[in-house]
Every structure is written in structure tokens, then in C-alpha cells.
Amino acid sequence: MNASSAPAEDLIVIGKIVSVHGVRGDVKVYSFTDPIDNLLDYRHWTLRRGDEVKQVELVTGRLQGKILVASLKGLNDREVARSYADFEICIPRAELPALASDEYYWYQLQGLKVINQLEQLLGVVDHLLETGANDVLVVKPCAGSLDDRERLLPYTDQCVQRIDLELGEMRVDWDADF
């Protein structure tokens, strides 16, 4: 487990170590992947917490309820494993699987300008929320936006009409009064 100088902009966060599990140095991991255990497909992780960066290798992992339990190479002490809590688990963006032309990773949507059918700039996508029924776009005001309101828009085909990553825009069917 050594330090790395991998460029931060090339990394994508796919999970977070939340605590220890058992007495052998295993860690509990909250996964941001869908399905949850897709995180276990990546064997080499860059761990990041503030300015601290570590390279680790996943030996084994398993799903336990809504959390993963992972064993990392060379980590076999519970107290040392405890020090890994709150590290984000990152991988290079290039390792993410290719998507169909009408599919996007959440990180690709963040920062897009959201423009409605009346050409009103509602703001930019700040982040997304998983609600169960459908994902929700959290749109925050930006320079030039219609007003200073934060909006929650459903990430559905009915609402999101077009996404253009090159232009940095998302076209939506959404009334500015909502």
C-alpha cells in the first residue's frame, strides 16, 4: 500500500470505507455503484481522504445486506483497518465500462446548464439524488440563471428532453414556476 500521484481529475469515486468488520482487518464499504457489488469488479483502488492518498488491492469482497465487506491486501489488523474509515474509493475514469449513447454516468451530468423549453436557464446540475422511484436532479442557480432558486427535477424521459455533453447543456420540459 503505497502513496500515488495519480491526477485527481482522472479519478471517479465509486464508494467509501465506512468502518471495520470483524477482527481480521476487513472493512465495511458503502458502494455508489449499481448494482452495489459492481464495486468488487475493480481490484485496484485509490483511496483518498483529504490530501491523503493510498493505493490498495482488493483481495476478496462480499455483499452483506446493503453494505460490502472487503479484504484488502496486507491489511489484517483491526486497529489499522479502523484508520481507513472515511477514505473514498476511487478508480480511473478510463476503467468505467462504456455506456450506450443514451446513457450517462452521474458525474457527466454534474455541471450541465439546465435550460427549459422557453430557453430559460434554470441553473446547473449540482448533484443527483436516488429516491427509489426515479433519480432527482438537484439544480442550483448559477451566473445568468433565471432566479436564485434551487430546483429538484425528476431525471425521467418526460422531463429530460436532450443532453449535450459537448455543449454542456441539458434541455428539459419544466415550468420555471415549479
With 50 as the cut, is the pLDDT of residue 21 above it? yes
Kindly report the CATH number assigned to the domain that includes residue 30. Answer: 2.40.30.60
Same domain (yes/no): 20, 86: yes
What's residue 3's pLDDT?
42
What's residue 9's pLDDT?
63
Same domain (yes/no): 126, 145: yes
Same domain (yes/no): 81, 159: no
Residue 2 lies in a domain: no
Q: Which grid coordinates are listed for 87?
A: 477514505
With 80 as the cut, is the pLDDT of residue 7 above it? no
With 60 as the cut, is the pLDDT of residue 33 above it? yes
Q: Which residue has the higher pLDDT, 130 or 56?
A: 56
Same domain (yes/no): 90, 152: no
**Domain end marker among 71, 95, 119:** 95
Residue 131 lies in a domain: yes
What is the 3-class SS of 95-157, one letter each residue?
A: HCCCCCCCCCCHHHHCCCEEEECCCCEEEEEEEEEECCCCEEEEEECCCCCCCCCCEEEECCC
Average pLDDT for the chain: 92
Residue 133 lies in a domain: yes
Q: What is the pLDDT of residues 68-82, one digit of tens each?
A: 999 999 999 999 999
What percent of the chain shows pLDDT beyond 90? 79
Domain, as residue range, for 20: 8-95
**Dist CA 66 CA 50 (whole Å):** 26
* Own/partner pairs, 69-73, CB within 8 angstroms, 24+ separation: 69/21, 69/22, 69/26, 69/27, 69/28, 69/29, 70/26, 70/27, 70/28, 70/29, 70/40, 71/24, 71/25, 71/26, 72/1, 72/25, 72/27, 73/1
Query: With a threshold of 0.85, does the pTM exceed it?
Result: no
Residue 122 lies in a domain: yes
Q: What is the pLDDT of residues 103-120, one digit of tens each?
A: 898 889 999 999 999 999
What is the number of domains present in the chain? Answer: 2
Kindly report the CATH number assigned to the domain that includes residue 161. Answer: 2.30.30.240
**Domain end marker among 38, 64, 95:** 95
What's residue 25's pLDDT?
94
